[in-house]
Amino acid sequence: MSFLMQALNRTMLVSLIEKVNKNVNKNVNKKVNMSEEKEKPVDAASPFLEEKAFKSRTVLVFGTINDKLAAEVSKRLIALSAESDTPITLLVSSPGGHVESGDVIHDMIRFINAPVRVVGTGWVGSAAVNVFLAVPKERRVCLPNTRFLIHQPSGGAGGQATDIAIQAREIVKIRERIAALIAKESGQTLERVTNDIERDYWMSAIEAQEYGLVSRIIVNQNELNA
C-alpha cells in the first residue's frame, strides 16, 4: 500500500512539474514575441511610406549609385510623370558610384515630361554630381550642410596590354565628358573644370553655389516653391 502511495505521489509531482514548465514556457514565449513586436523597425519600403512618397512626388537617390538603384529611380520617375506633370522632387545624398548608372538617372530625368527639381543633402559626389546636374540651374538647390565632390573617373585597368589601352582611352573620354558637363551647367570654363577635377575637389554648400553647381541654399521645404 505504501509503495502504491509513493508511486501516485511521484506521478502527481511529475504532472505538476510538467504543468508549471508548460506555463512558464508559454509566458516566456509571449514576452519574447511582444518584445520582438516592439523592437521591429519600420520598413523603409512599407506600403504606407511608399504611398506617402508617391503622393508627395518625392524620389530618393541615397547611397551608392548602381544599376539596381538606377532601375528603381527610373521606374519611379516614369510612374510619377505618367501620373501628372506636377514637378517631381529628387533628393540626392550619394558618394557616387557607377558612371553609367548615374548616366541612366541623368538621362531619365531629362527624358520624362514632368519637370524635376533636385535637392542636395548630405553629400553629392562623383557620379551623383552627374545626376544633380541633369536639371537647369534654377531647379538645383541644396540644404545648408551639403558637401559636393567633383573629380575625374577612376578605374582599375587590367588584362592584356591592348585591353588596358582601350580602357584608358575610355576613361579619358568619360573624364572629358564629365568636365564638359560641369563646365556647361556651372558656367565655369572647361579649362578650370579640367584642372579642378584632376584631384578631389570638395565644396561646401556656399562654395558650390559660388561655383555654379547650386542656385540656392534652402532650409525649409516651403522654400522649394519660392
Q: What are phi and psi of 122, to 5 degrees?
A: 75, -100
Contact by Cβ (8 Å): 206, 120: no
Angle, helices 67-83/47-55, rounded to nearest 10 degrees? 60
Whether 215 is catalytic: no
On the 0-12 / 13-18 / 19+ scale of CB atoms within 10 A, 124 is buried
Distance CA 189, CA 215 (A): 18
126, 154, 186, 204: the active-site residue: 126
Distance CA 41, CA 213 (A): 37
Amino acid of residue 168 = A
Whether 46 is catalytic: no
81, 151, 186, 215: the active-site residue: 151
Tell me the sheet residues that pair with 117: 89
Q: What is the set of active-site residues?
A: 126, 151
